[in-house]
Amino acid sequence: MEASPRFLCGGLQAFAVLQWVFSFLGLGSVCLVALLLALLSRAWILVVLYLLWLYGDRNTPRVGGRRSAWVRNWAIWRHFRDYFPISLVKTAELDPCRNYLFGFHPHGVLVVGAFGNFCTEATGFSRLFPGLRPHLLMLPCWFQIPIFRDYIMTSGLVSSDKASVSYLLSCPGGGQVAVLAVGGPLEALEAKPGALSLRIRNQKGFVKVALEHGAALVPVFSFGENELFRQLPNPPGSCVRRAQEALQSLLSVALPLFHGRLGLLMPFRSPIHTVVGAAIPVQRSPRPSRAQVDALHALYVERLTQLFEEHKERYGVPADRHLVLT
């Protein structure tokens, strides 16, 4: 009898994670098929009306999206959190009167920690950082899929193009947080257990846009992000890696060949501790020079490395392991 509640909780947690994985790997296709079937049925007029509305709404993912506090507080996200589990660690106060650009590291295969912490309230973001509204940046191509784009926006996902980031960082009154997985899709190809490789040396666009709007930069390191899946060996220069990089250039999304528990897409149970660092003040410079960008980028990398070193042993990283910046 004592095992039954634990079994039920485990089942709910597994279901919560599976539906989330399906949402990002299969729901878009389901939405397209459903829309096509409806168009060929007696409900075609509803589809036409939706598509007309969609045309007028096409810029919403670039102007802050359409968040829903109700969706972000769904009970299913608490089961999602508890599966791993996921925790959000605050290290410094953040002024809600300012706008921020959070740099999230590492990307991982599916940025699980970024979604759990910044697209839901399961780990208490609004309680830890009152007055701030996080928006996780996602590749623009995902917002071209009807119905699917409306669903993902309810959690706070917005387009990652420059216009979208600029809109958030220039909002008067502050309180807006743009969360960017700095390493991008290519870093997902390095997301393997034990990996500490960050693709950041040439990633300077986020620094430039922060300077243009005077938005503070905040380094974020998610310990455990790379422990959730296994990947087919794909060392740099291999046929697999070359094919993945070619497809990434063509499709804009990375295609890591990964698997989880029991050979499926179910991630392994491994704790994720997402540590939010202190803000790096940024003086607004509408047309920053290359020297300004380089100097701020170097400071950001220094603060990110410091954040990692200060917390690594607490979250299971041996003292002799260090970040590898590429």
pLDDT > 60? residue 2? no
**pLDDT for the residue 3:** 54
Cα–Cα separations (whole angstroms), residue 19 to 12, 27, 124, 265? 11, 9, 21, 11
- Terminal-to-terminal C-alpha distance of the chain: 52
204-251, pLDDT tens digit by residue?
A: 999 999 999 999 999 999 999 999 999 988 888 899 888 888 877 777
User: What pLDDT is attached to residue 235?
Assistant: 87
Average pLDDT over residues 70-77: 98
Mean pLDDT computed over 165-185:
96
Model pTM? 0.94
pLDDT in the model for residue 1: 46
Supply the pLDDT for residue 245. 84
The rounded distance, in Å, linking the Cα atoms of 217 and 296 is: 9
pLDDT of residue 256: 86
Binned at pLDDT 50, 70 and 90, residue 295 comes out as very high
Q: Which residue has the tokens 């020297």?
A: 291
Between 5 and 91, where is the model more confident?
Answer: 91
Task: Return the pLDDT at 247.
Answer: 79
The string of DSSP letters for 250-268 reads HHSS----EE-GGGSSPPP
